[in-house]
Amino acid sequence: MAEDVTEPTFFYFAYGSNMLTTRLRARCPSARAFGPAQAFNHQLAFSKRSHDGSGKATLAPSAEVHDVVPGVLFEIDKSDLMALDEAEEQGVGYDRFDAFNVQCVTRNQIIPHTTYIARTHIAGLMPYDWYLALIIAGAREHSLEESYVKHLTETPHKADPLPDRPSRRAALKALQEAGYVDESDVLRRR
């Protein structure tokens, strides 16, 4: 009998709300932070339309070499890949790329990882405050550059008109598990 040589884990590049470990572990319990990473020739955009009408984060290609999107690499058991696909609406909202090149900051290597990018980009969308707070909290948790955190805090956003929305409640739970009171606590911390 041949030995199964497939890897039991995969590396995932998170650049949006999944940077916050408590958020990602609610979806993929096996997720373990590996370290900061960067996607070159991309910009962070909130141009993926959510079901609630707000803008969700995605990577937008850029021809500018200096455009870099910081994020976090996670190692995840392949048994959690289906749950991550479901959370990201793989094939509907986002497409999964399994050979997306990012630079691992701690190892200074460019290697392929899995990430998700919106299928369609719509200009003029804004994130809800609780969603942006997840991203900022994740960036702070993993000590991404302060200039990037400042850039995130200056991102235009809006209050969710449905404060009891299930996705907002799940976000607040992840933020509380990470030590924040609510989204306003994250947004006002400097």
| pLDDT tens digits along 63-98 | 887 899 999 999 999 999 999 999 999 999 999 999
Rounded to 5 degrees, what are φ and ψ at 178? -90, 0
Helix (H) or strand (E) holding 152: helix 146-153
pLDDT of the residue at 7:
80
Question: Which structural domain range is residue 106 located in?
Answer: 9-188
| pLDDT tens digits along 9-66 | 999 999 999 999 999 999 999 999 999 999 999 999 999 999 999 999 999 999 887 8
Q: Say if 1 falls within a structural domain.
A: no
Q: Tell me the CATH number at 45.
A: 3.10.490.10
Confidence of residue 4 (pLDDT cuts 50, 70, 90): very low
Q: Say if 3 falls within a structural domain.
A: no
Number of domains in the chain: 1
Query: What's the CA gap between 81 and 78, in Å, rounded?
Result: 5
Percent of the chain with pLDDT over 90: 87
Query: What's the CA gap between 45 and 74, in Å, rounded?
Result: 21
pLDDT of the residue at 190:
65
Contact 28, 17 (CB under 8 A): no
Length of the chain: 190
Q: Say if 36 falls within a structural domain.
A: yes
Owner of token pair 């929305």? 165
**Strand locations in the chain, DSSP E?**
9-14, 32-40, 42-49, 55-61, 68-77, 94-104, 109-118
Q: Say if 118 falls within a structural domain.
A: yes
Q: Say if 4 falls within a structural domain.
A: no
Q: Say if 30 falls within a structural domain.
A: yes
Two structure tokens written together for 16: 């949006």
